[in-house]
Amino acid sequence: MTGNAPDAVGVTFAKGVLEDVAELTATAADSDQAGKDEAEALKRRIAELLVECKGNPFIGELMGPGLHSELANCRRVRFDIPTYKAKPRFRLIYRNEPTDGAPAECHWLTVAPRAGLQAHRRARQRS
């Protein structure tokens, strides 16, 4: 995608999101080929989410009030690589801005593991 479609929504990143992605997709020097393949698949999936958000800022489920009330206006996408068949291990949490009407941008707060509510904690710190 070389240019933005006329009705595409911009995607911005909170400070730390790119580090989140680098951490998730890093492979150790001694990783086997399966580990490297999984990291590459995860990179592709995150890139797909970026394109999807540009085309439709409502891809994520509205979080609403709950345990993390400060994230009530945010959206989350549960995701994983296509070959992983169990419960998705990762979360993208973002906020559409403005929150009412047609959003001008998707502001990504975090891309992080689901385990231990890591994604929610990071998003709460960055919101």
Q: What is the CA radius of gyration of the chain?
A: 15
- Predicted pLDDT of residue 103: 87
**Sequential DSSP letters for 45-56:** HHHHHHHHHHH-
Mark the ranges of the chain whose per-residue pLDDT is less than 70: 1-6, 28-30
What pLDDT score was predicted for residue 67? Answer: 76
pLDDT at 109: 97
**Chain centre to alpha carbon of residue 77:** 7
Which residue's structure tokens are 């979360």? Answer: 91
What is the model's pLDDT at position 1? 41
Please give the structure tokens belonging to residue 111: 């891309």
Instruction: Please name the residue that has the structure tokens 């609403």.
Output: 64
Domains, in order of start, for the chain: 10-126 (3.30.2310.20)
Quote the pTM value: 0.89
